[in-house]
Amino acid sequence: MRVLAGLFVAGILGRGWTRLCGAAPPAEMVPELIEEGRRILLFPQFTSMLDLIASALDRAGIPYVVLTGETVDRAAPVRRFQQGEVPLFLISLKAGDVGLNLTAADTVTHYDPWWNPAVENQATDRAHRLGHDKPVFVYKLITAGSVEEKIVALQEKKAALANAILSDDAASTVNLSR
């Protein structure tokens, strides 16, 4: 399914994406969201996918900034996004999980799922910070019938396990001493 994602970004799949996934592709979502005045954080897990998305955005003339592990000056793209110079911030999932305060964002899109829900939650939390004064919409794009569905199921199991361990009921029944 990774090939399908690459094809849609390159603009080859077009209406076929809707038939496969039952939703508009992000290439159609992003311009609509920008037109609505939304400020978007888009998190792919792989920088190779980020490069494909960036190429498609360049062809469409959509302005954006990028942050990856290779970014030397992290402050510049953050400043440009926060000050409203660009409506879209492409951030590799790993680069965006720590130390960012992006309160200008009101939309977070996870392009593809990561097996660890805590990493995605940390990325989403870049928009949920002190000083944020509007609702934040979070989208997770999942390809139907793919390994991505299995990753989401794994995320749900991990989250349920963490909740069970950390709940008040579990805390009273677990004895951590010898």
pLDDT at 165: 85
End-to-end CA distance of the chain: 48
Which CATH number does the domain housing residue 128 bear? 3.40.50.300
- Whether the predicted pLDDT of 79 surpasses 80: yes
Q: Is residue 36 in some structural domain?
A: yes
- Whether the predicted pLDDT of 25 surpasses 60: no
Q: Is residue 129 in some structural domain?
A: yes
Q: Is 0.75 topped by the overall pTM? A: no
Q: Is residue 117 in some structural domain?
A: yes
Hey, how many other C-beta atoms are within 10 angstroms of the C-beta on 53? 22
Q: Is residue 175 in some structural domain?
A: no
Q: Is residue 177 in some structural domain?
A: no
Q: Is residue 100 in some structural domain?
A: yes
Q: Is residue 176 in some structural domain?
A: no
Q: Which of 5-19, 23-37, 46-60 has the lowest mean pLDDT?
A: 5-19
Domain holding 8, by residue range, is: 2-170
Sheet holding 107-110, edge to edge: 65-67, 88-91, 40-43, 107-110, 137-140
Which ranges of 22-62 does DSSP label H, i.e. alpha helix? 26-35, 47-60
pLDDT at 137: 86
Q: How many domains does the chain have?
A: 1
Q: Is residue 62 in some structural domain?
A: yes
